[in-house]
Amino acid sequence: MEGVKVWHGRTVVHQVTDAQPSLSSDIGKREKRYFIQMGIRTMCLILAVVLTVPWPVRALLVAGAIFLPYFAVIGANQPNRGMSSGFDYEKPNQTEIPRHRREIGS
């Protein structure tokens, strides 16, 4: 039988929970996380201008407004965090099938 994996003499049965989330679900989660981070960035910028606080606090708010977009874009462009890629490393000479990736721009 081709495609059936055996582990210590037992057939490995795949569960429905082993399936990766759909592309639209994954992109939706990444967009939500991106918009939340951009909201935090906007608040940092507004608070840095409006509040009368000591310069270290103001510098921290400005730094958040400057550097948060970089981390937000990097995080938004990482699909399926913590999920396996589906690539079987046990079989030699197996090539990975390229997948279409949609990325969220800055």
**Cα gap 19→23, rounded to integer Å:** 12
Give a yes or no: residue 31 inside a domain: yes
Give a yes or no: residue 7 inside a domain: no
Residue 50: φ, ψ to 5°: -85, -45
Beta bridge mates, 83 = none
Give a yes or no: residue 11 inside a domain: no
Give a yes or no: residue 76 inside a domain: yes
Q: What pLDDT digit, counting tens, does each position of 3-38 carry?
A: 556 556 666 666 666 677 788 888 888 899 999 999
State the residue range of the domain holding 41. Answer: 21-106
**Cα gap 101→16, rounded to integer Å:** 23
Give a yes or no: residue 40 inside a domain: yes
Give a yes or no: residue 8 inside a domain: no
Is pTM beyond 0.85 here? no
Q: Residue 88 — very low, low, confident or very high, per pLDDT cuts 50/70/90?
A: very low
Domain total in the chain: 1
Give a yes or no: residue 1 inside a domain: no
Confidence check: pLDDT of 91 > 70 = no
Q: Would you say the C-alpha torsion 46, 50, 54, 55 has a positive or negative sign? A: positive
Matching residue, tokens 């977009």 = 69
